[in-house]
Amino acid sequence: MISSLTFETLRNEIAGFAVADLAQQFGTPCYVYDLESIERRIADLAAFDVIRYAQKALSNIAILDRMRRRGVVVDAVSAGEIHRALKAGFVPNSQPAGIVYTADVFDRESLDLVVERNIPVNVGSPDMIDQLGERAPGRNIALRINPGFGHGHSQKTNTGGPQSKHGIWHTSIDDCLVRADRHGLTVTGMHMHIGSGTDIEHLSQVCGAMEAACQVVGRTVKTISAGGGLPVPYSAEQPYVDLEQYFNLWQATRHRLQDAFGHSIELEIEPGRYLVAESGYLLAEIRAVKQMGENTFYLLDAGFNDLARPILYGAYHPIAIARRDGSGGRVEQDVIVGGPLCESGDIFTQEEGGFVARRRLPAAGVGDFLILEVAGAYAYAMASNYNSKYRCPEVLIENGEAKLIRRRETAEDLLRLELNP
Ligand code: LLP
């Protein structure tokens, strides 16, 4: 299915708010999220019994809270993410569990939290079974299985196969059952996540692998998780996944397991990107326009400290211009878009391997705005203080109001933790 989306290269408003007004009120750079977009994506996945949001994609507590109020539960990969989920009001041992810990290691703090707060775990390494079993014998656990294959939008987001550190290798399930028995742990859940930004062909292969893995564990299995990985279109050529087809494949798998085991099986999905990517916009100001030989550069006040996906993966983000005076002239030119950092890789229009690419964009000057779109997932969440830049604010558009959900950092924030003994 080819998406019918178009990405306009001129945009004067975001979710009903004038770009210039948002910039005036909150400053630039600044992330803006449209809650309605997140609501639509939650609704798309309603057929699954449980939507477990992989909060690593965008973990602001206001976003988590809005998800919770719409019936979504969360996944956590660290002690910090557990604390965020608790702060946003999730209850660990509700039904379904409000928080589940999914990782390949326990650091000491996360193990303490999981034990003390009774947080269910998707175990991603056999050692975790012993570490949990020694502290909390008798619990139920889920195994995150690496089915021996994987796929992602980049080699760096492929989480399956022998090159990946993720999950329990599919032929090690028996060993895990022996370890679990030793501590009186029961394997009640099975989980697979083969990669992020993958496609329906690869996602579909997971169903068969899941069924085989569940057969090895047997009748104790009560929950299966399809993991995340659902792609979203970052350009007009990229498709949306056919969700009905995807759900039907999992539904058939679930039914076969129910028939085999004689009890009901709960079906979870664990998306990050799908729920939030399209909701997000990184709003920046053009601070310099310069000619380097035959290339024109727009240099922004946002850099890879704000949005790292292009430098990390050669990721493509749609780009739009909003002129400060709101004018609509459509003269276009090929430009390279970069940021302020003292590093030549600080380019938003680059391809995998670091090759700089030109983008056809409306003519613009200093003081005009540039918007990096489809920037809700793995965008603010991967922001840093490189070059001692302050992390930028986050704004949520909800019920026709633009609300600050994280303020811009200050010099004081930047220096607060440092000591000079
Ligand atoms: N579940 C597990 C166990 C995961 O490791 C992940 C993502 C997800 C769910 C959610 O995957 P999603 O539905 O978002 O594809 N920084 C990269 C993506 C890294 C994904 C890490 N794990 C990017 O910007 O593309």
Say which DSSP state 412 is in. Answer: H
Under the banding of pLDDT at 50, 70 and 90, the label for residue 330 is: confident
- Per-residue pLDDT tens digits for 69-110: 999 999 999 999 999 999 999 999 899 999 999 999 999 999
CA-CA distance, 272 to 277, in Å (whole number)? 8
Distance from Cα 24 to the centre of ligand 1, integer Å: 33
**Which residue of 50, 241, 273 sits with most ligand 1 atoms within 8 Å of its CB, as the best mutation to test the pocket?**
273
The distance from CA 298 to its chain's CA centroid, rounded to whole angstroms, is 28
Tell me the two tokens of residue 208. 């068969």
Tell me the two tokens of residue 245. 């087809």
Protein residue closest via CA to atom 24 of ligand 1: 378
Ramachandran category for residue 13: left, alpha or beta (phi over 0 → left; psi -120 to 50 → alpha) = beta
- Per-residue pLDDT tens digits for 219-247: 999 999 999 999 999 999 998 999 999 99
**Which residue of 51, 154, 193 sits with most ligand 1 atoms within 8 Å of its CB, as the best mutation to test the pocket?**
193
Tell me the two tokens of residue 289. 């326009």
Q: Which atom of ligand 1 is nearest to the CA of 144?
A: 3
**Has residue 413 got a pLDDT over 60?**
yes
Assess whether the C-beta atom of 229 lies below 6 angstroms from ligand 1.
yes
- Secondary structure of residue 87 in the 3-state scheme: helix
Protein residue closest via CA to atom 9 of ligand 1: 228
pTM as predicted: 0.97
Which residues are designated catalytic? 342
Region 160-171 average pLDDT? 92
Helix 35-44 and helix 61-69: axis angle, to 10°?
40
- Per-residue pLDDT tens digits for 2-59: 455 788 899 999 999 999 999 999 999 999 999 999 999 999 999 999 999 999 999 9
**Has residue 1 got a pLDDT over 50?**
no
Protein residue closest via CA to atom 23 of ligand 1: 378
Q: What is the per-residue pLDDT for 155?
A: 87
